[in-house]
A and B are shown apart, each in its own frame.
Chain A
Amino acid sequence: MSDFLIHVISVSCIYGILALSLNLQAGFTGLMNFGLIAMFGCGVYGAGLVHRFGLPVALGPALALILAVLMGLFLARLGRRLSTDYWGIATLSIAEIARIFATNLEPLTGGAQGISGLPLLFSGLRPWDGAARLALFAVILGVAWLICERLVRSNFGLGMKLIREEPQLARALGYDIDRIRSTVMVIASVIAAVAGVLYAHYLSFVGPELLLAPETFLIWAMVIIGGIANNRGVIAGAFAMQFMMAYVPFVKDYFALPSDFVAAARLMLSGGVILGFLLLRPQGIFPERVGGRHDH
């Protein structure tokens, strides 16, 4: 396999983890989180800050975990009294606040230059380091997928889907909506933060431009294209979007287009895919399987 292909598949695996996280929230529980990138940012900056202050690398995931749990709980707390659309806007604002602080708190986060020189995973295994990273990412994606599948097929998962479909019925049946929402947000946030830690050590760089709002909508595009509330589908969606994004620069070179084309095409692809699928096939390529097996 060429290095380029390994790179694209590695990034696809990381985004697959993010798509699973968003799917838990938006797909199964109906929580329209437009600030997912802040949860990812907890992981990215958890790893970055530990490196910047010379702490052992192993503390990165620990810091990321703490930040992610706090972020998940805070967003869930906000959702307690807000309707879906207000909450969506609130999550978007929180992600932007996080990015503004990451850009401006220079003594802590390194400001706009970010933090570079994070240790690369498996750098000792050259020339097989790329393949080793890919294997690790694929394994973690598989584990995340298993966790998500087990979760949505459990009794707890039934509660999640009931909240999505009929929140008032769920409350009447005795489901504790606030507790289920907080649990889902914390689990999803931790999954997204794991992706963030992996990505930070993959790029070996951490900066505020990783937290831009369009990145959230790229993940939304993956979930919508693959099939909202279908775990396998959203992973397929992550691969589809990443491969399309990866070949945009080649299209630019082939047709000798201006350099703005790459940035515009990325926005156009995310936005266009979301709009096209919502209008023409809102259930995505792989629709949710209703009913089916449940582990009790």
Chain B
Amino acid sequence: MVQFIFDTLFRAADLALIAVALSAVYSLIRFPNVALVQYAVVGAFVGMALQQQGVPIVPAVLLASLLVGGIAQVFNAVIFQRLLRLDPAIALIGSLALSMVLSAGFLLGFGPAAQRFSVQVAPATRVFGVRVTEMQVLTGGLTVAILIAFALLLFRTPLGREMRAVSTNPVLAAATGVNTARVTGLVVFLSGVIAALGGAMLALRGSVSIDMGTNMLLPVFAAAILGGLGNAFGAVFGAIVIAAAETLITNLNFGPIVGQDHVFLPASYAPAASFALLVAVLLFRPRGIFVSEVTRV
């Protein structure tokens, strides 16, 4: 049981940052930007490349995420703002296409092998009978810290108030003197930074290969949609539910149902669990569990 909770929490931490970034940017620019999962890979790879050049790990990760924030703004200005003028669905296709181009770039630039940061690997210790590595605890704590920082920014600062105002009613916000273009640009930048940090955390905990973005795409979406796209902290809840579903489906003993002692589903079914959950939620609660429309700022 404790093992199950730990597995779920670490998997949720994998998904949470990117899902929050996706949800936050959706609240201002009304289309789900699929390319965010690839920004996470860019963040991880740039961080590792910087570290190989001799930059210490903390500034390397920070620099990489700032860079990815800038890249997110460039892509937003050059591609997505133009496509959004046609149709949000066109922008979605554009972001899928951009993800493909980026993953092709990773394949050429980094090769198919998985890569990792060079950090000291401490042997796993046992806590409550569960194997945990130092890195898992560290990155898990950092993930929570980043989420709290983002929540404080969103709910405790004037800038956060402007962000919420623009996402609720952009016309009214503009009329009351909020610079919507600046706020949108900032959120796009932040979404890139958070996604890149998420990628770096994943890389610190294990390794990152070029298809990570593709593999993360649907679980991250499932988490964000479950929480109600546009509701940034619903996405955290969504990540936990998705992680629990994935962990449960592979740890549950189906033996009694089919009349045998031990029948476990192979781990390759785990993603199917989260996608099926996503489809079920869309069937019965099309706008997510928490509806994102807020009534007051």
Contacts and interface: CB of A to CB of B under 8 A. Distances in A.
Contacts, number: 129
Contacts of B101: 267-268, 271-272, 275
B111 interface: yes
Given A217-B100, A268-B104, A271-B104, A89 B32 contact: yes
B175 interface: no
Interface in A175-211: none
Contact of B96 (A34, A77, A101, A264): A34
B292 to A, nearest CB: 12
Contacts of A108: none
B107 interface: yes
A179 to B, nearest CB: 19
Interface in B216-231: 218, 221-222, 225, 229
B294 interface: no
Q: Which of A81, A84, A267 has the most CB of B within 10 A?
A: A267
B89 interface: yes
Given A271-B99, A271-B100, A90 B269 contact: no
A32 B89 contact: yes
A100 B272 contact: yes
B30 to A, nearest CB: 8
Interface string A82-101: 11111111101110110011
Contacts of A249: none
B97 A271 contact: yes
Contacts of B108: 260-261, 264
Contact of B94 (A30, A34, A88, A275): A275
A214 interface: yes
Interface in B90-109: 90, 92-94, 96-101, 103-105, 107-108
Interface stretch (B129-137, B178-186, B278-286): B278-286
A6 B89 CA distance: 37
Given A264-B107, A271-B98, A278-B90, A96 B282 contact: no
Classify the secondary structure of A's interface with B.
Answer: helix
Interface in A1-22: none
B31 A260 contact: no
B82 A90 contact: no
Which has the most chain B C-beta neighbours within 10 Å: A101, A264, A274?
A264
B107 A260 contact: yes
B218 A265 contact: no
A172 interface: no
B97 A278 contact: yes
A81 B285 CA distance: 9
Contact of A282 (B31, B90, B92, B268): B90
Contacts of A270: 97, 100
B62 interface: no
A82 B282 contact: yes
Given A94-B279, A96-B271, A104-B269, A279 B83 contact: yes
B221 A104 contact: no
Given A89-B225, A94-B279, A278 B104 contact: no
B97 A93 contact: no
Interface string B244-280: 0000000000000000000000101101100110110
Interface string A218-260: 0011001000000000000000000000000000000000001
A97 B276 contact: yes
A78 B100 contact: no
A103 interface: yes
A263 B218 CA distance: 22
A97 B272 contact: yes
Contacts of A77: 283
Contacts of A224: 93
A270 B71 CA distance: 22
B206 interface: no
B176 to A, nearest CB: 28
Given A100-B269, A271-B104, A89 B97 contact: no
Given A100-B269, A260-B112, A274-B93, 19 more contacts: A82-B286, A85-B88, A85-B92, A86-B282, A87-B282, A90-B278, A90-B282, A93-B275, A100-B275, A101-B272, A213-B214, A220-B97, A267-B104, A267-B107, A268-B105, A270-B100, A278-B86, A279-B83, A282-B86
Interface of A: 30, 32, 34, 77-78, 81-90, 92-94, 96-97, 100-101, 103-104, 213-214, 217, 220-221, 224, 260-261, 263-268, 270-272, 274-275, 278-279, 282
A-B CB proximity, top 10 nearest? A271-B100, A274-B97, A267-B104, A271-B101, A93-B275, A268-B104, A264-B104, A271-B97, A264-B107, A100-B272
